Structure 1
Amino acid sequence: MAEVSARVREQVRAAWGGAVLREFWAQAREALESAKRPDRFSVALPDETTRAAVSEIYGRELYLGHSRIMVAKLDQVLRADGRFGLGLAQVLEVLHGEPVATAGSGAPEPGSAAIAQAHAALAAHGLDRSPWAEAWARWLHQYGRVAEAELPRLTDRAGSVLAALALDPGAAPAVWVSRADLATPDEPTELDDGGALSRIVLRAAALAHHVDPPAGERERRSLWERCGVTVDDVAGTVLSWALPLRGADAWSRSITGRTELGLPTHLTHRDLAAAPERLVEPGAVVAVCERPRLVEASVRAGIRHPLVCVSGTPSTVALALLDRLRADGALLRHHGDFDWPGIAVARSLWSERQVGLWRMSAADYRAAVDRAARERLDLPNLVGTPVETPWDPELAELMSTASRAVEEETFLSTLLDDLRTGTLP
């Protein structure tokens, strides 16, 4: 272990050596020295002072009571600390005055086969200097449960898969790929749940995105999607109506034919993969709504204005379609519910995907609330955590004051008039 200067040792003890953190560090040492090589340990957070201190070190808000601490993530956070840059074992040696016992504990050993293989696989794809690379290599060595004979193949495949993922925690995926497309033709199920490759890839993804490793199917799916990967390319759909497709190919004719029959179309990732490179002409105005009711009403009214329904929080295929349309030069205009989840969706589309907003101003909200009062319409209570509205700061303030949610259906007649005239203010 590299020598730590006397000055740094003094600073570490001053920052992290108090009585409040004594039990936390003791549990961390027990985990590192355990022959069972646990990848996590539980720590008691009996009061606000302890909770705040441990949360600050771990880099995320924990809850009073007991919390689960991931060993590899704690090591990563400590190494990334700009003041000291020490790994967990080094911090414990400084605080306790003795090195972490390595006999039988599986503590990281420089030059181990797993660490070397992991670094080589990442280096082949330019990922070895990633902030999470060292923590992942050490996790693979300590807890990866990969047979030595399998290390070269699995780490090489993991490096190839990770190179195709969106691993920047501060950016939304720019493109989407099916998990099946990341697998090799010879082993099409190698990334399915339960396999070794899936497990070690998702561990790296969790470290990269600063989240706990997934504990179930829903969390695994969520983590894959954070990385721009769809678990399959046929289950998720996005509802569309009257898209003004420019092509004369069979795919475009099939969608246009459904519109002629008065039938909306549910598109999957597989549909989008089979679509022509360009979907619409630049300047095409496409409305984006939150609820299928507006699509149904448009179809029944014979209104052929292009419409995409995200059905609440946009799915990966909905985002992929919007990205494709925007890349073609389409002008996207979104309307959704005036509740905090609806505002969160609107803000995300507006800020992250440059989707314009349609009747989502403070004036629109005020008009809807006033109309409901005049017509004695019941509006739901506005619940949840407020979301800022940077496109119109007055909107969030007004919603908090009125404390009423306005669902998209309340605007139905107005929205249909907009679609009928082709004007989306």
Structure 2
Amino acid sequence: MRGLWEAAREALASSRPTFRLELPDDATRAAVGELYGRPMWGEGTRISVSKLDDAVQNRFGVGISQVLEALHGSVEVAGPAAEFDDELLPVLDEHGLAGASWAGPWLRWVRQYGRIGEAELTGIAHAAARVLASMSLTEPPRSWTSRATLAGRTGFPHSLDDGTALSRVVLKAASLAQGVDLPGNERDRRALWERCGVAPDAVSATVLTWALPVSGDDAWSAVVRARTELGLPAHLTHLDLEAAPSRLVASGTPIAVCEHPRVLEAAVREGLRHPVICLNGLPSTAARELLERLTAEGAVLHVHADFDWPGVAAALTAQRHGAVPWRMSADDYRAALDRAAQDRTDLPNLIGAPVPTPWDPQLAELMSTTARAIEEEQAMQPLLTDLRQGL
């Protein structure tokens, strides 16, 4: 374990959120993996200081600083301004970022690996600081800004497109703040942008809605109501939500949130005017922004999802944005199992790692024991009955 502790001490002393660890043999991989809480493969890996701190807390009951002090003596942790005297620190300080743990490592990286000419460096640092100050670097985002809108604040609407110098240095700061590796492909870049409250664009992420009782007398609200009158759902994008009126619905409005599009389709075809939002799997950034906004307006959101682990994860995400579980108890799962047995419906095996159900811990236990998944479509009739009667 000597290499782990030495590398952790260096990372802590320099306020780096992650560090590279060499794993020269099977014994080292096994020992580090047992402590860190995941299998180790290959000859090296990247370790998060915060995750390592959690691991030693769970194992020894003390934090990483106390462990390193016992092994090596006290570790002096310098703040970015003290440990790194850089003329660009005042640029970060203008935006309240100079004291961030990632500031010093980021400035060193920008100078050494950012491929920025000396003449451009100050301008890039100013633009990056403006962008980073608008991102959710350490807290989960509650709303999302499109990348083009964020770039527009620098005066150049395409400055954050993939491959630009500004996007490269901004993503490096985001990766340091989030404790993850700098993304090397489009999927990982998109995920990192979204983790920091930035939608890669304003039109691709959508949320499917039906019969939203919008209360405004503006053109936007009139279009949504017109689609409902025509019996058509509405796909809302971030651009739609930007153009929407400041208030969407009246306080206290009950809204159903489902995972499967078939539930929303059935409500449309039966002419049920109860408002429904469909997550269509794990909620998109547009769906999460809509849920957050409706909750802030006082709407009462009720979420139902598949009885499988991805479905539980989707319900948990919706719950974090204000929704309450709807027919998602252990009794509801048991009733769905009984209906399937009575109807001789084949149920798929429940696969994947269990996900906790804090609103009803017995649900996760029963699902694990029964090991059968129930798609929302197979539990549709009770949901439609609730929509007819009003949640």
Please give the TM-score of this superposition, normalised by the length of structure 2. 0.85
- Asked if 1:357 is matched to 2:325, the reply is yes
1:142 Cα shift?
2.3
- Asked if 1:378 is matched to 2:346, the reply is yes
- Unpaired runs of at least 5, structure 1: 1-15, 29-38, 95-109
- Asked if 1:413 is matched to 2:381, the reply is yes
Residues 1:21 and 1:123: Cα distance change in structure 2 (over 3 Å): closer
1:316 Cα shift?
0.2
> Aligned equivalents of 1:198 and 1:278: distance in 2?
33
Contact 2:23/2:45 (CA < 8 Å) preserved in 1? no
> Aligned equivalents of 2:181 and 2:329: distance in 1?
37
Aligned partner (choices 114, 130, 135) of residue 165 of structure 1: 135
1:42 Cα shift?
8.0
2:105 corresponds in structure 1 to 135
> Aligned equivalents of 1:141 and 1:60: distance in 2?
35
Q: Report the AA paired with residue 129 of structure 1.
A: G
Aligned partner (choices 19, 25, 28) of residue 49 of structure 1: 28
Q: Report the AA paired with residue 249 of structure 1.
A: D
Aligned positions, number: 362
Residues 1:253 and 1:179: Cα distance change in structure 2 (over 3 Å): same
2:214 corresponds in structure 1 to 245
1:345 Cα shift?
1.4
Greater RCO structure (CA 8 Å; 6+ sep): 2
Residues 26-71 of structure 1 show CA distances to partners (whole Å, capped at 9, x for unaligned) of xx9xxxxxxxxxx997834531534543896xx784622233449x
Contact 2:350/2:372 (CA < 8 Å) preserved in 1? yes
1:128 Cα shift?
1.1
Contact 1:382/1:405 (CA < 8 Å) preserved in 2? yes
- Asked if 1:183 is matched to 2:151, the reply is yes
Identical positions, percent? 50
- Asked if 1:347 is matched to 2:298, the reply is no
Residues 1:265 and 1:339: Cα distance change in structure 2 (over 3 Å): same
> Aligned equivalents of 2:146 and 2:174: distance in 1?
16
Equivalences for residues 190-339 of structure 1 within 5 A: 190-339=159-308
1:121 Cα shift?
2.0
- Asked if 1:67 is matched to 2:44, the reply is yes
Residues 1:111 and 1:309: Cα distance change in structure 2 (over 3 Å): closer
> Aligned equivalents of 1:196 and 1:55: distance in 2?
39
- Asked if 1:122 is matched to 2:92, the reply is yes
Give RMSD over aligned pairs.
2.9
> Aligned equivalents of 1:67 and 1:418: distance in 2?
54
Residues 1:85 and 1:403: Cα distance change in structure 2 (over 3 Å): closer
Contact 1:48/1:64 (CA < 8 Å) preserved in 2? no
> Aligned equivalents of 1:321 and 1:111: distance in 2?
42
**Does the residue aligned with 2:269 lie in a helix, a strand or coil?**
helix
Residues 108-167 of structure 1 show CA distances to partners (whole Å, capped at 9, x for unaligned) of xx767xx431x2222111111112222212222322221111111001111111000001
Q: Report the AA paired with residue 310 of structure 1.
A: L
Contact 1:121/1:158 (CA < 8 Å) preserved in 2? no
Deviates more, 1:189-198 or 1:127-136: 127-136
1:320 Cα shift?
0.7
Residues 334-389 of structure 1 show CA distances to partners (whole Å, capped at 9, x for unaligned) of 00000011111112222x22211110000000001111112211011001001111
Equivalences for residues 363-402 of structure 1 within 5 A: 363-402=331-370
Contact 2:291/2:322 (CA < 8 Å) preserved in 1? no
Contact 2:33/2:40 (CA < 8 Å) preserved in 1? no
Contact 1:255/1:265 (CA < 8 Å) preserved in 2? yes
Contact 2:4/2:21 (CA < 8 Å) preserved in 1? no
**Does the residue aligned with 1:82 lie in a helix, a strand or coil?**
helix
Greater Cα radius of gyration, structure 1 or 2:
1
Contact 2:32/2:40 (CA < 8 Å) preserved in 1? no
Residues 7-36 of structure 1 show CA distances to partners (whole Å, capped at 9, x for unaligned) of xxxxxxxxx6x4x669x97xx9xxxxxxxx
> Aligned equivalents of 2:103 and 2:37: distance in 1?
20
Contact 1:45/1:51 (CA < 8 Å) preserved in 2? no
Residues 1:362 and 1:60: Cα distance change in structure 2 (over 3 Å): closer
Contact 1:332/1:355 (CA < 8 Å) preserved in 2? yes
Q: Report the AA paired with residue 173 of structure 2.
A: A
Q: Report the AA paired with residue 149 of structure 1.
A: A
1:232 Cα shift?
0.5
> Aligned equivalents of 1:116 and 1:420: distance in 2?
65
> Aligned equivalents of 2:126 and 2:360: distance in 1?
49
> Aligned equivalents of 1:392 and 1:133: distance in 2?
42
> Aligned equivalents of 2:278 and 2:24: distance in 1?
44
**Does the residue aligned with 1:240 lie in a helix, a strand or coil?**
strand
> Aligned equivalents of 1:394 and 1:242: distance in 2?
34
**Does the residue aligned with 1:174 lie in a helix, a strand or coil?**
coil
